[in-house]
Chain A
Amino acid sequence: MIALSVVFLAPLVVMVLGSLQRPLQPPPNGLDLWPDPAEWSNYSTVALFMPLARLLLNSLLLVVVAVPVTVVVTSMAGLAIVTARGRLRRWLIGISVLMLLVPTAALWVPRVVLLRGVGLADTPLTVALLALAGTTPFYVLLFALAYSRIPTSLLEAATLEGLSPYAVWRRVALPLARPAAVAVAALSGLYYWSTFMDPLTLVSSPSNWPVALGLRGLSEMEAALYPIYLAAAVLVTAPALLAFGIAQRSFFSSVERS
C-alpha cells in the first residue's frame, strides 16, 4: 500500500519541487530535483502569464453548477432505463453504449453550432451546458447498473403506493444508489475541473475560459520558464486535491456502507 502511494505521489512531489526551481536556468543534466534556494516568487509570476484569479473563479463556477446538474440528470436517466420494460430497456441501453462510441471530435462542430444558435456560446458557464445532457452516457450506465441491484418489487411497490415517478427517484432510488451518486459527482467534478478541449472549441473569449485551458496554454513555455508553468500546475491542482481531502471521508464511508 505504501509502495503504491509512493508511485502515485512521485509526480506530485516532482511538480511541487519543480515549481520552486529558479527560472531562466539552463535545463539540468539528469534529475536535478532539490531547489536551492526555493524560488517562491514563481507563484506570483504566474499571474503575469494568465489572469489566474479570474480563470480559477470561472472553473469553480463551472464545477459548482455542472456537477449537481450532471448527478441529477444522469441519475434520473439511469432510473428511466431500469424502470423501462423489455425491448425499450434494451434499446435505451443500446443507445447509451452507441453514444459512448461516438468520438469526441465529431461532437465539436455540432455543439458549437447548437450553442451559437441559442446564443449561449460565450459565457463561463457554456461548458456546464454539457451537464444538461449528462456529460457522458457512461454516468447514465453507471446509475442504471447501481439501480439494477434494487429489487424491482421495491420500485413497483412504491409506485403502487401512489408515489409519483419523481418521488420514486427522490425517496427510494437515489438514496439506495448513494455510492453511484458519489462516484459520478467525483468523476464529473474532475472532468469539469480539467477539461480544456470543450472550452477551447466552445468558448470564444479568453476571459471566460476555465483555468485548465489557461494552464494548457502555459505548457508551451520555453524550457527555461518551466518552473513558472509548474507553479501554475500546483495552483490548479491544489483546489482539486483539497476537495478530495475534504470529500474522501464521505466518499469512503458511502462506498463501505453499500
Chain B
Amino acid sequence: MRSAVLAISVLLTLTACADEPDSDSSGSATAPITVQIRAEPEEAAVYRSLVTAYEEAGGGEVELVTVGREDHLTRLSTAFASGDAPDVFGINYREYAPFVQRGAVHPIGPLLAQEGLDTADYYEEPLRAFTYDDALQCMPQNISSLVVYWNRGLFEQAGVPAPKAGWTWDDFVATATALTTGGVKGVGIDSSITRMAPFVWSSGGTIVDSDEAPTRTTLHEPGARAALEAVVDLIGTGATPSKEQLAAQGLPEQFMTGKLAMFLSSRVEVPALREQRGLDFDVAALPVMGKPASVLHSDAYCVASSSENRAAAAKFVAYAVGQQGQTVTALGGRTVPSLRSVATSPAFLTPARAPASSQVFLDAIPYLRHTPVTPSWPEVEDVIGTQLQRAFEDGVPLDEVLAEIQKQADPLLQRQ
C-alpha cells in the first residue's frame, strides 16, 4: 500500500506538463466521452445501467472503464501524466486534492450551472469536502457516514437490547462485552483514521491543527488521545477479534458468519450483507463519547482539465447526479444519494430490504465532518493507519505510536 501511494505521488509530480486546451473548446454536448470509475465487479453493473439509461435519455456515447480499488489511482495517475486522461473520473474526497493541485481537474461548478443543476438541492457536507481553492472542483454523488452494523440474531441470543440513537461509549463497551461469548466477539475495530476520526471528534479532539491548511497532526493532544485510549481499553477487554482472527478473515466476513456481533463501516457493505441468507442485520448510529459526530464518506465525478469534450462530460455528470441517475445508483444499495430528494425516497430508504434503519445514515448528516483535504493526505492516512494498528493489534504503548505518527506525518503535511 505504502509503495503504491509513493508511486502515485511520484507520477503526479510528473503531471506538471499536462497540456491545457484553450477554455473555449468545450466540444459538442453529445460528443463521445470516456468515464473511469472505481468499482468492484458487482458495482460495475450498476454503473453500466447508469450509462445505458443516460444513452437512452439522449446523451452521447460513453465508454465506461471500471477499474478495481487499487488499480484506479495507478491508471488515473499514469493517464494524466501522459496526457491520455478520461473525460470524467470518479474519486474519493480523501484522494482528489493532489489531482487539483497538479491542475488535472477542471472546476465543475460553472459547467454544471450551464446544465441547469442547482447545488442547493444537494447535501452541503460533501459539497464542502469537494471545494478546494474556493471552487467546487468535483460533483459528489453520495454522502455516506460511518455507522454500527449489528447482528439482530446475536443480540437476541445474548439478551442484549438493540442499540439506541445517542448511546454512549460506555453503553457500547458494555454491549460489546455482553455479546462476547464462546465463538462470538462483540465488535470489530479497524485501525484506519477514517474509522477512528468520529471518536476523536466526539471526545473534543482533532486530527490536525487546521482543517483548511494543516501543518501538523494533533492525535497526541488530550481530546484525541482520550478517544484512542478508550479504544485501546476496549480492545483490552477481549471483546474484539484477536490478531490471528483478523489475519484469518476480514471484519465483514466475520460478521457474515456470525463470529462478530457488531462492526463499523459505511453504506458500502449493504449489498454483500443483503446477499447472506439467514443474516438478520441492521444499522445504528455511532456511540457518542462527548458530542455526536460521524465521518463523511463521499465520491464525486470530476471533469479532467485536459478533456476536449467538456460540454458532453458536464452533461453526463449532471445526469448521473440528477434524479434519474441517483435513483439508479441508490437501487444498487451501495450508496447514500447526495441529492436530498432521492435520499428521502423509497429508492434509498427501501423499508422492505435490510437494513430497516437506513434513516440512520440521514440522521448522521448534521454531525458529519470530513478529514482534511490536502495533497499529502493519502500518505498521512497511511502512516496513521499503520501506526495505530501497532497499538491496537501488537500492544505497542499508545504514546509510543502517537510520537511516531508526529515524527512521520508532520513532515508530510509541511512538505507542500
Q: Count A-side interface residues using an 8 Å CB cutoff.
A: 29
C-alpha gap A109/B7 in the complex (Å): 11
Contact A216-B71, Cβ < 8 Å, known A27-B253, A27-B257: yes
The reply to whether the CB of B244 lies closer than 8 angstroms to some CB of chain A is no
Chain A residues numbered 12-32 whose CB sits less than 8 Å from any CB in chain B: 24, 26-27, 29
A225 at the interface (CB under 8 A from B): yes
The answer to whether A108 and B11 touch across the interface, beta carbons within 8 angstroms, is yes
Q: Which of A121, A205, A216, A217 has the most CB of B within 10 A?
A: A217
User: How many of chain B's residues have a CB under 8 angstroms from any CB in A?
Assistant: 40
Q: Is the CB of A27 within 8 A of B79?
A: no
Residues in B with CB closer than 8 Å to A131 are none
Separation of A204 and B71 alpha carbons in the complex (Å): 13
Please tell me if the beta carbons of A222 and B78 are within 8 angstroms of each other in the complex.
Answer: no
With beta carbons under 8 angstroms apart, the residue of A116, A223, A224 that contacts B82 is A116
Cβ contacts under 8 Å, A201 to chain B: 74-75, 78-79
Q: Which residue of A lies closest to B253 (CB)?
A: A27
Binds A, one of B34-42, B105-113, B115-123, B341-349: B34-42
A200-229 near B? 1/0 per residue, CB < 8 Å = 110011100000000011111111110000
Contact of A204 with B84 at beta-carbon distance under 8 Å, contacts A109-B11, A217-B68, A222-B275 already known: yes
Say whether A223 contacts B272, CB under 8 Å.
yes
A-B contact count (CB 8 A): 90
Asked if A112 is an interface residue, CB under 8 A from chain B, the answer is yes
Q: A200-B71, A216-B68 are in contact. Are A112 and B79 (CB under 8 A)?
A: yes
User: A204 CA to B69 CA in the complex, in Å?
Assistant: 17
Tell me if A113 counts as interface (CB < 8 A to partner B): yes
Q: Which residues of A are found within 8 Å of B2, using beta-carbon distances?
A: none
Q: Are B40 and A220 in contact (CB under 8 A)?
A: yes
- A221: which of B7, B41, B64, B278 is its contact (CB, 8 Å)? B41
A218 touches B41 (CB 8 A): yes
B265 to chain A, nearest CB (A): 13
Q: A222, B63: Cβ atoms under 8 Å?
A: no
- Is there contact, CB below 8 Å, between A105 and B68? no
Offer 8 A-B interface pairs, CB within 8 angstroms, sorted by A. Answer: A24-B275, A26-B276, A108-B78, A112-B78, A200-B75, A206-B66, A217-B44, A218-B41
The chain B residues found within 8 Å of chain A, CB to CB, are 7, 10-11, 14, 34, 40-42, 44, 63-69, 71, 74-75, 78-79, 81-84, 249-250, 252-253, 256-259, 271-272, 275-279
